[in-house]
Amino acid sequence: MLTLYDARFASRLLLGTAQYPSPDTLKRAVEAARAEIVTVSVRRESARARTGQGFWQLIEQLGCRVLPNTAGCRTAKEAVSTARMARELFGTPWIKLEVIANDDTLQPDLFSLVEAANILCAEGFEVLPYTTEDLSAAERLVAAGCTVLMPWAAPIGSARGLINKTGLKTLRAYFPGVTLIVDAGIGAPSHAAEVMELGYDAVLLNTAVAKAGDPVTMAQAFARAIEAGRFAFEAGLIEPSDMATPSTPVAGTPFKIDSVS
Amino acid sequence: MQILLNGERIVTRARDLDELCASLGFAGARIATAVNGNFVAAGRRAKTKLTPADAIEIVAPRQGG
């Protein structure tokens, strides 16, 4: 089971709700993924269009727990105010805390991230910070009160997969008791399986499903890959080696003449 | 008075944040608010007086990754 603060979930796939070709496709993708948690955002509401009110009805139909984000925030102050608005809007203490450093990479601003995490944890938020694999930032986030960390695999929407696998492995080894979720940069189900084989607790993704040719089938593919990767981790992977090792018994091989000295 | 609502200049007769939300048709809607960068809880909107050039944010749920 996946544990996020005091809540437990059977699914280890957290799914974003943006960029789908239609609301119906989003709904069917969430169902196909068997996702129990979906990410949402907070955006300006037009008095005329009232877009958010319609979207909220769709989210309620999904029956999932929502994880609001602070996407687009560039300072700790913006992120803290957005988190407070999200808590009232969605009625949850959860916040996917994002503070972005620059528009090209959408890399987390780790200094502002830690600053905001300290404030929000002290206010009773259950913070899920979008971070990098940097160990010193992770230590400060855990010290702030985060029991979940969400390092990127690669820049958001890049579909590059695990660009620093060693860093992610080190983070897993360094924080055995912290719930670790890879968030961002996943492009293929094989990337998600690789994350899970490292012993990560879950994967959060959006673009790879929403922008796929068939988002519903891709959601199912990711769900199965994540399940397969988790099974593999629990079963214990064998160690790779540079040289071959025969799998068929060597003893009793016909036509073989033992060398005689 | 002139204020900034969601980044756009508007003229309003509303005296407080609650009146502003109601005048825009947001009574009972799922929204959250901030004034000059600071969150204002629903229960405090009526007590939050507006002053000229205030920057108001009215937000709602939206798709997110």
Instruction: Provide residues of A within 8 Å CB-CB of chain B.
Output: 16-20, 26, 39-47, 50-53, 55-56, 59, 68-69, 71, 77-78, 81, 84-86, 88-90, 156, 206-207
Q: Cα(A261)–Cα(B6) distance, rounded to whole angstroms?
A: 90
> A30, A62 in Cβ contact below 8 A?
yes
**% of chain A with per-residue pLDDT over 70:** 99
Binning pLDDT at 50, 70 and 90, where does residue A163 land?
very high
A77 assigned to active site:
no
Q: What pLDDT does residue A259 have?
A: 64
Of B6, B25, B61, Cβ closest to residue A90: B61
pLDDT digits (tens, 9 = 90+) for B13-63: 999 999 999 999 999 999 999 999 999 999 999 999 999 999 999 999 999
Distances (CA, A) of A192 to A54, A153, A186, A198: 32, 10, 7, 10
Please name the residue that has the structure tokens 């727990």.
Answer: A65
CA-nearest residue to A97 within chain B is: B65
Of B37, B57, B64, Cβ closest to residue A44: B57
Question: Could you tell me the pTM of the whole model?
Answer: 0.93
Binning pLDDT at 50, 70 and 90, where does residue A57 land?
very high
Of B38, B58, B63, Cβ closest to residue A41: B63
> A168, A196 in Cβ contact below 8 A?
no
Contacts of A158 (CB under 8 A, 6+ apart): A185, A187
Residue A225, pLDDT > 60, answer yes
Binning pLDDT at 50, 70 and 90, where does residue A58 land?
very high
* Cβ contact, residue pair B61, A81, below 8 Å: no
Q: Is B41 on the interface with A (CB under 8 A)?
A: yes
Which of A52, A50, A36, A110 lies closest to A86, judged by CA?
A52
Calculate the average pLDDT of chain A. Answer: 96
Q: What pLDDT does residue A257 have?
A: 81
Which of A165, A110, A168, A167 lies closest to A140, judged by CA?
A110
Q: What pLDDT does residue A256 have?
A: 85
The number of CA neighbours under 13 Å toward the Cβ of B59 is 30
Q: Residue type at A29?
A: A
* Cβ contact, residue pair B6, A19, below 8 Å: no
Of A101-105, A127-131, A135-139, B7-11, the least confident: A101-105
Of A105-109, A150-154, A252-256, the least confident: A252-256
pLDDT digits (tens, 9 = 90+) for A93-103: 999 999 999 99
* Two structure tokens written together for B18: 């609650």
Q: Cα(A79)–Cα(A202) distance, rounded to whole angstroms?
A: 24
Residues of A in contact with B61 (CB under 8 A): 40-42, 52, 55-56, 59, 89-90
The catalytic residue among A77, A96, A165, A256 is: A96
Q: Is B42 on the interface with A (CB under 8 A)?
A: yes
CA-nearest residue to A70 within chain B is: B64
